[in-house]
Structure 1
């Protein structure tokens, strides 16, 4: 697949890095020589120095034969312009990164596809949505919804008291037959290996396990693992960035007591004017005395989304020490993901990863509707739509030649989620959620073509 990426910033570089690992033909365009040199030296891609709004530069990148153009510069206007030009010059599909979520909310009304833009993404908006979902599923450290919650992916660490620790998947299924969840990925404590569970796979204390749940499955998991899905009432947000603003705005519609701490005085006053239902505090969130004054210990959730990863991590650790149940930190460094559980923070989120997940479904073959990469695991979760021509169509799951390093987590039929076992027959228009390791992706894709 021939992919052109405009913008070698953090999102563009991360996308180029992930895509180059998959042997895609990548061209990266940017005006910053230093960023391009770094990408050229570290990745197997082609780089072009220049303005992506230049027709000559786009032609040099062979835009007319490209399968996908992704515009992710820091300028919303530039991204929209690049997509419009690229579509006119022959690009098959275009994606623009934007920061103004109003554009996403009114995309059908404006008709962006007629202008030449197939998809709009906002990393900040994706991060705010992720935070809201994590608070709704407060017992879990990772969460993702398919088809507005028909199926939900949740992740948690197994404590010694969890009902199925020491049992195999098959043994657990016999003891708890009427369940609405299924394990799809396991990471053993202290390792970096991702296991796709089979019947003989044993659950162990400290395992980080990802489940797919249908309606009621989340509560069943809480009961069996001893986790508590705390009702969130009081939320404190550190940082008045775009993510902080969007998170505070959205959460204030759901929760009564939302506080936002912003260090910059002018920014704090602006936020206070715009967020009438949020208590905005001008102060340094690294100051423990300030956090104590603002009743940190009474908070149900603490969300740190400043521009500094270390500040976010340290302030979340302070919140944990004060007894706050749910902590979420925004981090830029992907290496920090491996530390999240060992250092005691519930969830780390990363804009680059969220944006890449959103874009990746356009690269996958077959009718991919949604896709996410599992946090700190080497696995992907994909939602495929079954076509009449799909090899998997009209077959029982147990009769499908499915790779060992992949598993069907659930099926959505007519808007209802099902935890599907071997005797479930897959039909046309079913939406199938699959978890797979990278080595089996191509094999899985072929089943849905």
Structure 2
């Protein structure tokens, strides 16, 4: 598969990184020579310095024979132009990163007619992610498959959890009436993601990911040593595009939302646009202002200004004031893995979310859904099991499934089934698989 990525920024780099684990013919085009040099030194991709809107350049790298053109530069207008030109030159499929909300789901214009097959908005995806996190308040990561039939739930183990120092096997024996599978553990102070086995122990401050059927979610709270938190009152810091979209989505779900914006003109505009949100003109870094606006009565605090450090620090202040749930938007990809260490519930990066969303368009036909977890360098896939697939020929323990992957459950005829070693998949099943990047090809082969 030949793929051209226009833009070597954070979205382009993460896409190139995901693709570099596979036998993809990947080209990356950008003006910035330093970014391209960094890519060349770290990933197995072909780079080309220049303007991706150049017809000559696109012809030189063979856009007419490309399967996919990903326009993910920082400029939405440039991305739109690249897609239109690429389609006219013969690329099979185009995906453009855009920010204008009018372009998404517009019934008046079919953008495919102009050469843009699919559009993604990092801001829209980030707002949706924040809403999802607030709906599962005691967890710092949550992904739903098949409308919640199966769910991936992530949380940090505190001292109240009864599973501390128990092995995975001992925990299953102790809580044998609860259906769940532990699919990943990220240990405090390390970058390594552990795919747990029966003898793996749970430790204090572990970031643990569970695969849980919908009917078992409520039963998971005693296992992690936490109680369900009903979130209603939310304070948002920053009237950015993400802040605006998040406020609108939360109000639609009947949350009570306060939004603080330090730019007077922007605050007035937000007050006009967001009729159900209380918009406050002021500096959210001012502790006195936060106290005046009853921060201690807030259930959640969401910081989405354009400054990562401001977002992190303000969330830490909110935590110190007793706010139960904090979410910070960060631009620096290096910050993503430190939320576990510094005490913020979740750090999100809109570019990482966007890259993972685009990546599912690249996957082969067996994959029907894909999600990225916040604190780990891995993906969660939903595979559809086709007739004759290798996974249907043996029970799971005899499949030679790679140690870098684990099956988190199976959905059969809309019903959640636990996938332990003696389970055998059937054609038509949908399997939830957690997978480290180096094992993606092996796992895909088993589902062929």
TM-score under structure 1 length normalisation: 0.92
Q: 1: distance between equivalents of 2:13 and 2:166? A: 43
Q: 1: distance between equivalents of 2:339 and 2:255? A: 29
Q: 2: distance between equivalents of 1:216 and 1:36? A: 48
Q: 1: distance between equivalents of 2:27 and 2:190? A: 35
Aligned to 1:3: 3
Deviation (angstroms), 1:27: 2.2
Q: How many residues align?
A: 448
Q: 1: distance between equivalents of 2:114 and 2:415? A: 35
Q: 1: distance between equivalents of 2:43 and 2:397? A: 41
What is the 5 A alignment of 1:18-57? 18-20=18-20, 22=22, 24-31=24-31, 36=36, 45-57=45-57
Deviation (angstroms), 1:97: 1.2
SS of equivalent residue, structure 2 residue 182: strand
- Give a deviation string over 1:38-62, Cα, whole Å, max 9, x none: 6567655444344433322211221
What is the 5 A alignment of 1:334-413? 334-393=333-392, 395-413=394-412
Query: Residue 337 of structure 2 contacts residue 376 of structure 2 at CA under 8 Å; is this kept in 1?
Result: no
Aligned to 2:62: 62
Aligned to 1:238: 237
Q: 1: distance between equivalents of 2:191 and 2:46? A: 31
Q: 2: distance between equivalents of 1:130 and 1:199? A: 32
Q: 1: distance between equivalents of 2:372 and 2:269? A: 36
Q: 1: distance between equivalents of 2:137 and 2:20? A: 35
- Give a deviation string over 1:333-374, Cα, whole Å, max 9, x none: 122123212111000000121011112223334522222233
Q: 2: distance between equivalents of 1:27 and 1:9? A: 14
- Give a deviation string over 1:137-179, Cα, whole Å, max 9, x none: 1001111121221211111112233222222222222222222
Structure 1 residues 103 and 369: CA distance shift in structure 2, 3 A: farther
Deviation (angstroms), 1:315: 0.3
Q: 2: distance between equivalents of 1:21 and 1:427? A: 28
Query: Residue 8 of structure 1 contacts residue 35 of structure 1 at CA under 8 Å; is this kept in 2?
Result: yes
1:76 and 2:79 correspond: no
Structure 1 residues 33 and 335: CA distance shift in structure 2, 3 A: closer
SS of equivalent residue, structure 1 residue 198: coil
Q: 2: distance between equivalents of 1:147 and 1:111? A: 28
Aligned to 1:123: 122
Deviation (angstroms), 1:103: 3.5
Deviation (angstroms), 1:427: 1.9
Query: Residue 410 of structure 2 contacts residue 432 of structure 2 at CA under 8 Å; is this kept in 1?
Result: yes
1:94 and 2:94 correspond: yes
Aligned to 1:306: 305
1:251 and 2:256 correspond: no
Deviation (angstroms), 1:11: 2.2
Aligned to 2:103: 103
Structure 1 residues 106 and 220: CA distance shift in structure 2, 3 A: farther
Aligned to 2:173: 174
- Structure 1 segments of 4+ aligned residues over 6 angstroms from their partners: none
Deviation (angstroms), 1:299: 0.4
Q: 2: distance between equivalents of 1:94 and 1:355? A: 15
Q: Bigger shift: 350-359 or 114-123?
A: 114-123
Q: 2: distance between equivalents of 1:422 and 1:111? A: 48
Q: 2: distance between equivalents of 1:37 and 1:444? A: 31
SS of equivalent residue, structure 2 residue 151: strand
Q: 1: distance between equivalents of 2:139 and 2:315? A: 16
1:422 and 2:415 correspond: no
Aligned to 1:15: 15
Q: 1: distance between equivalents of 2:50 and 2:191? A: 39
SS of equivalent residue, structure 2 residue 142: strand
Deviation (angstroms), 1:439: 2.7
Structure 1 residues 396 and 18: CA distance shift in structure 2, 3 A: closer
Query: Residue 358 of structure 1 contacts residue 370 of structure 1 at CA under 8 Å; is this kept in 2?
Result: no
SS of equivalent residue, structure 1 residue 209: strand
Deviation (angstroms), 1:409: 0.3
Structure 1 residues 390 and 80: CA distance shift in structure 2, 3 A: farther
TM-score under structure 2 length normalisation: 0.92
Deviation (angstroms), 1:208: 1.4
Query: Residue 394 of structure 1 contacts residue 428 of structure 1 at CA under 8 Å; is this kept in 2?
Result: no
Aligned to 2:439: 440
Q: 2: distance between equivalents of 1:426 and 1:369? A: 16
